[in-house]
Structure 1
Amino acid sequence: MGAAVVVSERMFDKRLRSTPTEPGVYLMRDSSGKILYVGKAASLRHRLSSYFASSAGLPPKIRRMVSKLADFEFIVTESEQEALILECNLIKEHQPPYNARLKDDKSYPFIKLDMTEEYPLVYVTRKVADDGARYFGPYANATSVRRTLAVLKKLFPYRSCTKTITGTDDRPCLDYYIHRCVGPCIGAANKEEYGEIIDQVAMFLEGKTETIVNGIKTRMEEASEELEFERAAALRDQIQAIEKVHEGQKVLHLTSENVDIIAAAQGKRESWVEVFFIRQGKLIGRDNFLMHSTPDDDMDEILSAFIKQFYDATPYVPPKLIVHKPISDTAAIEEWLTRKRQSKVQIHVPQRGEKRKLAQMVADNASQALEQLTIRRIHEETNNTSAMDELQEALSLPNVPRRIECYDISNIQ
C-alpha cells in the first residue's frame, strides 16, 4: 500500500507543485475515469499534497482510495464557503464511493404551503423552488410526512380538494360536515379566514403552538359574545386537540430556543443519523436518516457530511445546532449556514449540563435504532434463506435459486 502511494506521489509531483494554493474542490478518479472521492480545501495544493506525503498518517479508507487513484482534477473557487456548496452538489450528483453521504438524498419529501394561491393547499413535494411558497422538511421518508399531514388535517380545517374555489358551490364535501374543512367552496369562509388557518398550519410546523391557541381563544370568545355557540364549540374542540398534541411535545429546559440536536451511530456499511427538532424550547419532532459510510470513516466526517448535505436541502436553518461529537470544518460550515439563514448560526458540542444530556439521549436513540435495524435485516436474511431452501426442495432444483425471473404473458397471443 505504501509503495502505491509513493508511485502516485512521483506520478503527480509536477502537477502538485503547480496546483494553486487558493480554495476549491478536488475530484479523485480511478483508471476508468470514475470519481472515487470529492473534497474541498482552503488550499488545494496543501490538501492534495497531504494525500501523497506519507501513507502512515492516512486513514485506512484514504489509503485504499489513493491506491486506486489514476488522476485528479480541481475547481478553484473564490472562497471556502463557495467550495463547501460546490462539494455538496458534486457529492449529490456523482455519489462517490469514498464519501460519506445521505442515502437517496434526492428524493426527500417536504410539506409545501403555496402562499401564492388564493386558497393555499397543503401538500407533499420533492422539489424546493424559490417560488414564494413555504417549505417544511425535509422528512426522512413518505411515512414521516404522511404522519405529520394526518396530524395537521385533524387540527386545522384546510381544504384537501384541488378544485377552483369560487364560493358558489351548491353544497360542500364530507370534510365540511365532519369539521375537517371550513368550506370556502360554498362561501362559508372567505379568503382572509381561510388564510388564518394556513398561517396556523405554518406556525404549528414551526412549533409556535401557544401563539395559535391564544389566537383561537380570542376568536372563540368573540363567537360566544356574538351568540354563535356552534362556532365557539368548534373552536373550543380545536383548542383542546391542539393542546393535547402540545402536551405530547416534551418541554425541555432550553428557554425558548430553536435548536436541532444531531447525533450518529456508525455501522459497517452505513451510519444512522438521528435529528431532534426543538422549537420554542419544545421537542416538536424527530427524524432519522441513513448515510453510506464505512467503519474507517471518522465520526466527525460523518456528522460534517450530514450537516452539509441535510442543510443544503432544507430551507430552514435554526440558529443553533447541537452535535454530540466535534466536527471538522466547524468555522466554514457555521459561516455557510449563517449566510443561508441570514443571521448567526452556531454549532455547539455541549460538555456538561442539560444540553449534554440531550445530546447523549439523541446519540443513544441513534445507537438503539441502528442495532434494531441490524437485527431486523439479519432476521429478514434468515427468512429469505429459509424460503429459498424450501423452494429448492419443492421444485427439486439442483441448487438454491439465486435469480428468479418473472414475465407478464397477459398480452402474448
Structure 2
Amino acid sequence: MPDPSTYRPAAGSIPVEPGVYRFRDQHGRVIYVGKAKSLRSRLNSYFADIYGLHPRTRQMVTSASSVEWTVVSTEVEALQLEYNWIKEFDPRFNVRYRDDKSYPVLAVTLNEEYPRLFVYRGARRKGVRYFGPYAHAWAIRETLDLLLRVFPARTCSAGVFKRHKQIRRPCLLGYIDKCSAPCIGRVSAAEHRDIVDDFCDFLAGHTDRLVRQIEKRMQEAADELDFETAARLRDDVGALRRALEKQAVVLGAGTDADLVAFATDDLEAAVQVFHVRGGRVRGQRGWVVEKAGEAVEVEATAGESGAAGGDLPILVEQFLTQFYGEEVALTDGGEVEQPGAVVPREVLVPALPPNADEVQEWLSGLRGSAVQLRVPQRGDKKALAETVQRNAMEALAQHKLKRASDFTSRSAALQGIQEALDLDTAPLRIECVDVSHVQGTDVVASLVVFEDGLPRKSDYRHYAIKEAAGGGHSDDVASIAEVTRRRFVRMRRDFATGDLTSGAVPGDLTVIHDDSPVVPDANIDPQTGRPRKFAYPPNLYVVDGGAPQVAAAAEVLDELGITDVAVIGLAKRLEEVWVPGEIDPVILPRTSESLYLLQRVRDEAHRFAITFHRSKRSRRMTASALDSVKGLGETRRTALVLHFGSVARLKKATVEEITEVPGIGVTTARAVLDALGAESETVVDAGSASQSVQVGNDGSD
C-alpha cells in the first residue's frame, strides 16, 4: 500500500488561511477536492495514522501521489471554488449529487413563432421556458391534456406542424378543439402566443386570476343567453380546478421553499427534496449517493466550527452547493417558470451546515435577493419536513433492497480480477474494444469505459477503421491493433502537452507538492480548460477476442513503450480470458462476479459498436440513390433528405420545390430528379439518417 508520507508537505509549509485543496493520483488526475477554514488543520488530518481513517478516506490518500492548495480570502470564495473544481474535474472520491433518474419537465418554446408545449428531459436551452421538475412524465401529460382544453396551444413537433401546414388540414387535436390549429391559420401568431402566455401564467401560480376571468366570461355569456359558450367555459373552469387538485396545497399561499431531508447509513445517503411554490408541491426529486471518504471532513470541520457531531451538517453543505450550483448553471441558457424558482426564498434543512452564514450568503448571491436557510421547528413546515424525511428513509430502504449486493459484488469482482490476473492493484478503470462490420464493409470499433465496476458513458468512443484489410473481409486483428494504437497515441500526446497552470485562480497562491516526474495538469486541455478524458491509461485493457487479438493489442503497447496497462481478451464461445504470451487461457468460474463484470464490459462494447455501425450503414444507404448526381456532395445530399423527410417524397417533388433547399440550383434539381427517376431500389426512410451516436469521437479520428 502506498505511503501518504511520501508526498506529505513539509511541516509549517501549509498556510492557516481558508482555501481549497486537491489530491491527485500518479497520472495527474484530480481524485478529491475539499475546502477548509484552515488549510493546515484540515490537511494535517489526512496524514495521521492511515489505519485510523475511514476506509474510503484511506483508499483516497493511498491512491494519491500529490496534494496542492489554493488560498482564498473568505469562506464564501472557498465554497464557490470548491464547487467549480468538483464540477470541472469530477473527482471520483467526492460525493456527487446526480439524479437517480432523469426528471421530466414541461417545456415551452417561447423562441419560436408558434410556441410548442412538450415534455422534455435534458439540459436547458436558450429561449425555452421550463416548468418542473415532476416525478413522472405521465403526470405532466395528464395535466397537459386537461389544460389543453382551456389553453389549446400547439404540442406537435416541427415536422408534423410543417406537414399539416403544407396539406392545409389540422391534426386530430385541432379537430377536437385541443389545439387552436395555428398551422392552418385558424389563429394568428399573436393570438396563439396569448394562449401560451395564459398557459404559462397558470403554471406559474397565477391560478386564481385566470379562474376568475373565465368565470366572469361564463357569466357574461349566460347573461347574453349564449348558453353553449357558457357551458364550454363552465367545463373549462372544471378542468382548471381538476388540474389544481393534482398539486396538493401544503403551506400558506405565496410560500416558496425547498425542503431537504436525508436518510443515511455507514456507506450511503438518500436525499429527498420537495419543491414548494405558491404553497403547492410543484416537484419532488431524490438521490442516493455513496458517502465516499468524508470521515476526515467531518472531524476537521466539526473541530473548527464547533458544529454538532455526525456527518449530516457536511452532507447538507455539499448538497446545497452542488444542487443549487448545478441548477443555476442548467438554467443559464433558458428561462425558469418564475423569479426565484431555482433558488427559493427559503431552504429548510434537517441540520445547519457548519458555515451556515457563508452558505446562506452564497445562495442569496445565486438568487439575487435574500435567502433564509433554517431548520423548521414547529407548525406546518415541521410536519412537511417530517414527510420529506419519511420519503428519504423509504427511498434508502428501496435502494438497499434493489441493490443490496451491488457494491459488495463490484468490490468482489474487481478483487477477483486482480487475483486471477495477478495484477498489482484492482482494475478501477477498465476499457474494452470491440469491432463491428458486415463482410468487411462499414468497419467500425467501439471503446467503452468502466470505473469502479460501473459504466462511464461520457468516456465512450467510437472509431471508423482506416486500415481494414481488402478482399471483402475485415481483419479483426488489424482493426484491434489500429484502435489500440490510436487510443494510446492520443493518450501520450495529450499527456505530453499538459498545461501546468490550468485550474489555478489568477491572483491566488497555488502550491504543488509532487515528488514524481508526472506533469500535474496533463489531463487538462489548455484551450478549453476541461479535463482530457484519455490523458491517463486504464488499469485493464480488454479486447473482444482470443489469443490473436490480445497479441495484436499487446504488440502495439510494446511498440509504444507502455508497460503499466494489463491486456486481456475475452473469447465469446467459452468465455475464456486470454493473457498475452500464455498458451492456455485463464478460466474464471462461471458463477464468479469477476467473469460477470468482464462479460458486462464486453457486451456493452458490443452494443455500442453495433449501434454506431447501424447508424453509419443507414446514412450510407439513405444517400446511395443520390450518389450519382454530379456535383452533389454529402452536405447537400443530407440537406435534401432532411428537407423532404425521405427519398420517396423527394422523388415526388418539383424542380421549384427542390430549389427551395439552400444551395440547390435548377440544374442540380433536374439532375436529382433524373437520378431518382432511374432509381429502382427500395427507398430507405431518412429518419435514421438524422440520427447519430451522441458520444463525441476521438479527436484524432
TM-score bin (small chain)? 0.7 to 0.9
* 1:250/1:20 CA distance change after superposition, 3 Å: same
- Map of 1:279 onto structure 2: 277
In the TM superposition, residue 346 of structure 1 has moved relative to its aligned partner by 0.9
In the TM superposition, residue 125 of structure 1 has moved relative to its aligned partner by 4.9
1:309 aligns with 2:322: yes
In structure 1, the gaps of 5 or more residues are: 382-396
- Map of 1:25 onto structure 2: 20
Work out the CA distance in 2 between the residues paired with 1:69 and 1:313. 27
Task: Give the share of equivalent positions with the same residue, in percent.
Answer: 37
The question of whether the paired residues in 1 share the 8 Å contact of 2:271 and 2:287 is answered with: yes
What does the per-residue CA deviation read over 1:163-203, in whole Å, with 9 as the maximum and x for residues that have no partner?
36998973211012233212222333333432233234333
What SS does the corresponding residue of 1:242 show, helix, strand or coil? Answer: helix
Q: Give 1:248-263 correspondences, 5 Å limit.
A: 248-263=246-261
- The one of 286, 289, 313 aligned to 1:291: 289
- Map of 2:147 onto structure 1: 155
- Map of 1:127 onto structure 2: 123
What does the per-residue CA deviation read over 1:197-217, in whole Å, with 9 as the maximum and x for residues that have no partner?
323433344344323323333
- Map of 1:318 onto structure 2: 344
- Map of 2:182 onto structure 1: 184
* 1:193/1:372 CA distance change after superposition, 3 Å: same
In the TM superposition, residue 281 of structure 1 has moved relative to its aligned partner by 1.6
What SS does the corresponding residue of 2:9 show, helix, strand or coil? Answer: helix
Work out the CA distance in 2 between the residues paired with 1:149 and 1:225. 35
Work out the CA distance in 2 between the residues paired with 1:351 and 1:135. 33
What does the per-residue CA deviation read over 1:327-367, in whole Å, with 9 as the maximum and x for residues that have no partner?
23322221122112111111110123332222111101110
- The one of 331, 352, 359 aligned to 2:385: 359
Work out the CA distance in 2 between the residues paired with 1:4 and 1:398. 34
In the TM superposition, residue 78 of structure 1 has moved relative to its aligned partner by 6.1
Work out the CA distance in 2 between the residues paired with 1:370 and 1:221. 52
Work out the CA distance in 1 between the residues paired with 2:226 and 2:186. 14
What SS does the corresponding residue of 2:261 show, helix, strand or coil? Answer: strand
What SS does the corresponding residue of 2:390 show, helix, strand or coil? Answer: helix
- The one of 117, 137, 140 aligned to 2:112: 117
- Map of 1:98 onto structure 2: 93
The question of whether the paired residues in 2 share the 8 Å contact of 1:258 and 1:280 is answered with: yes
Code of the aligned partner of 1:148 = I
The question of whether the paired residues in 2 share the 8 Å contact of 1:108 and 1:138 is answered with: yes
Code of the aligned partner of 2:370 = K
1:210 aligns with 2:208: yes
- Map of 2:10 onto structure 1: 13
What does the per-residue CA deviation read over 1:211-230, in whole Å, with 9 as the maximum and x for residues that have no partner?
33233334444555666655
Normalised by the length of structure 1, the TM-score is 0.77
What does the per-residue CA deviation read over 1:56-111, in whole Å, with 9 as the maximum and x for residues that have no partner?
99766545533444212234556544443332233234332332212369966544
- Map of 1:34 onto structure 2: 29
Code of the aligned partner of 1:84 = L
Work out the CA distance in 2 between the residues paired with 1:339 and 1:119. 35
Code of the aligned partner of 2:9 = F
What SS does the corresponding residue of 2:136 show, helix, strand or coil? Answer: helix
Normalised by the length of structure 2, the TM-score is 0.48
- Map of 2:304 onto structure 1: none
What does the per-residue CA deviation read over 1:3-51, in whole Å, with 9 as the maximum and x for residues that have no partner?
967x36x83025x626483x54321123343323112345545544554
The question of whether the paired residues in 1 share the 8 Å contact of 2:259 and 2:273 is answered with: yes
In the TM superposition, residue 320 of structure 1 has moved relative to its aligned partner by 0.4
In structure 2, the gaps of 5 or more residues are: 296-310, 332-341, 408-587, 615-701
The question of whether the paired residues in 2 share the 8 Å contact of 1:264 and 1:274 is answered with: yes
In the TM superposition, residue 318 of structure 1 has moved relative to its aligned partner by 0.9
Code of the aligned partner of 1:158 = A
What does the per-residue CA deviation read over 1:116-164, in whole Å, with 9 as the maximum and x for residues that have no partner?
32221234252235x343233456xxx7345324422431322112236
- The one of 233, 237, 240 aligned to 2:238: 240
1:372 aligns with 2:398: yes
Work out the CA distance in 2 between the residues paired with 1:377 and 1:203. 42
Work out the CA distance in 1 between the residues paired with 2:127 and 2:359. 27
The question of whether the paired residues in 1 share the 8 Å contact of 2:104 and 2:136 is answered with: no
Structure number with bigger Rg: 2
Query: What is the Cα-based RMSD across aligned positions, in Å?
Result: 4.0
The question of whether the paired residues in 1 share the 8 Å contact of 2:132 and 2:282 is answered with: no
Size of the alignment, in residue pairs? 387
* 1:199/1:4 CA distance change after superposition, 3 Å: same
